[in-house]
Amino acid sequence: MRGARVPLACALLVACPAFLQADEPRHLKVALHIHSTISTGTVAPAAIAALANQAGLDAVVFTDSALRRWEYGLWPARAWIRRVVEQPSVLTFGAKRYLDTLRSLSTPELLVLPGLEAAPFYSWRRSPFDRRGGQIRGWNQHLLVFGLEDPRAIRTLPLNAFDPYQGDRGAAPYQRVIEAVTAQGGLVFWAHPETGHVGEHGPVEDYTDPYPHLLELTSGYHGFAVTYRDKLAFVEAGGVWDRLLAAYCAGRRRQPVWILGELDWRKPEEHPLDRVVTMVMASERTAEAVLRALRTGRMWVVFRIGRQAPVLHRFEARALTGHATAGIGESIAPTGPLRIQVSGRRGSPEPGQARVFLIRDGAVLQMEEVTAEEFDLVWTDDAPPARGFYRAVFQGPAGLIYTNPIFVR
């Protein structure tokens, strides 16, 4: 493996949109995992759309809570002596009304997509009627659902379908929801797997441990989302994500596992809507094209820390023998060495070290510090894997970038 830098003039030529080919995909800035007043948020959907326009976003994906309902019954008379708590959700608002409300907000300048945050299961640790109150376990192990167009498909999701009095049911409740969504053509991404939760509902404690293990115990979903609150160990070289990608390359998983950026946003005081964005490579500026890109991994994640976020211009693998190329979410079948290119911009000029990592099959293959505002790094891998993957990471004072992989077949 040898590394080389190309001249800055070449980097600018690659980066400038004026030089892109006509069939190059559009790069749309998308904010995902947004809660409105329909469920747990404090801002109405129309006002969120206005904030998204002000933030320069191209699309916003709402994920209001599908159902927020808990109950506890006293044994042995649970059918007659029980307490039920239900809070605002998509199902209390009305599934059709929810879809219609959000679709009506789309404009040529801003795409508005309806999605859901699903909580498939919870269990009780003890009775909420005793002096200490009860404890709900696992309620915040969430799935993000996109692309369900039929209100009936939302109403019939198997939420809270397992007995909450029998303790932890492992992956089964989540697998059932994943299968129900994908059977309807929808997309499923695990939400904030590294984020635990401790809260209260009156006298009842709401407790959830981080749950990255569930991603290895379930299948058929499309990926996972990361938020600024996560520890991000999940996406470190050799972590859970790399193990999932390696399992796909080895034929032990049917489909890749993609990464998304999520906000888990409820009010403007938390953070701006462009704090974490998913940059989507869409064939056109439509909701359908955004969903296709999410399904096929044609996106990368940007965390903004400074005033201006870092920018990725290009992550590409090119065969030195022949003319094959592959970008984010795509595959390449080289017969010899590969040239890997990562180009972009550091973002706002806060002092501090900025580095680009090239990861191959879960190990850091190359790392290079970048000092110039624009960077264009080119490395050659003389012995690419027969079946494997590359992904790129940018870390700097202005923010973070995580790409989805390029696969080698």
- Buried b vs exposed e over 185-215: b needs ≥16 C-beta within 10 Å? ebbbbbbbbbbeeeeebeebbbbbebbbebb
- The reply to whether 193 and 88 lie within a common domain is yes
How far is Cα 355 from Cα 371, in angstroms, rounded to an integer? 9
Domain end position, chosen among 297, 325, 352: 297
270 and 150 part of one domain: yes
pLDDT for the residue 322 = 86
* Residues 93 and 38: beta-carbon distance below 8 Å: yes
Our count of domains for the chain comes to: 2
Q: Which domain holds residue 315?
A: 1-22+307-396+405-409
Domain boundary (297, 326, 354) is at 297
Place of tokens 């708590």: 85
Residue 232 has φ and ψ, to the nearest 5°, of 70, 15
For 69, 103, 340, the CA distances from 358, given in Å and listed in that order, are: 45, 39, 9
pLDDT of residue 359: 98
Do 312 and 293 lie in one domain? The reply is: no
Residue 23: its pLDDT value, please? 60
Alpha-carbon distance 97 to 265, whole Å?
21
**Could you tell me if 184 and 94 lie in one domain?**
yes
Q: How far apart are CA 180 and CA 239, in angstroms?
A: 29
Task: Confirm whether 288 is domain-assigned.
Answer: yes
Q: Position of tokens 């129309």?
A: 46
Q: Which residues of 231-249 are buried (b: 16+ CB within 10 A; e: fewer)?
A: ebebbbbeebbbebbbebb
Q: What is the pTM of this model?
A: 0.91
Contact 129, 170 (CB under 8 A): no
- Residue 28, token pair as written in the block: 């749309």
Q: What pLDDT tens digit does each residue of the chain (409 aa) get?
A: 334 333 323 333 333 333 344 467 899 999 999 999 999 999 999 999 999 999 999 999 999 999 999 887 666 666 776 778 899 999 999 999 999 999 999 999 999 999 999 999 999 876 555 555 678 899 999 999 999 999 999 999 999 999 888 889 999 999 999 999 999 999 999 999 999 888 887 777 888 999 999 999 999 999 999 987 667 899 999 999 999 999 999 999 999 999 999 999 999 998 999 999 999 999 999 999 999 999 999 999 999 998 999 999 999 999 999 889 999 999 999 999 999 999 999 997 878 899 999 999 999 999 999 999 999 999 999 999 999 999 999 999 999 999 999 999 9
d(CA 290, CA 59): 9
Tell whether 302 is covered by a domain: no
Q: What are phi and psi of 115, to 5 degrees?
A: -140, -175
Residue 235 belongs to domain with CATH number: 3.20.20.140
Of 290, 226, 218, 225, the closest CA to residue 254 belongs to 218
Q: Tell me the C-alpha to C-alpha distance, in Å, between residue 220 and each of 65, 174, 212.
A: 22, 11, 16
For residue 155, the tally of other CB atoms under 10 A from its CB is 14
Would residue 226 count as lying in a domain?
yes
One domain, residues 10 and 37: no
- Residues 221 and 208: their CA atoms lie apart, in Å, by 21
Q: What pLDDT is stored for residue 400 in this prediction?
A: 96
Whether residue 254 is found in the same domain as residue 281: yes
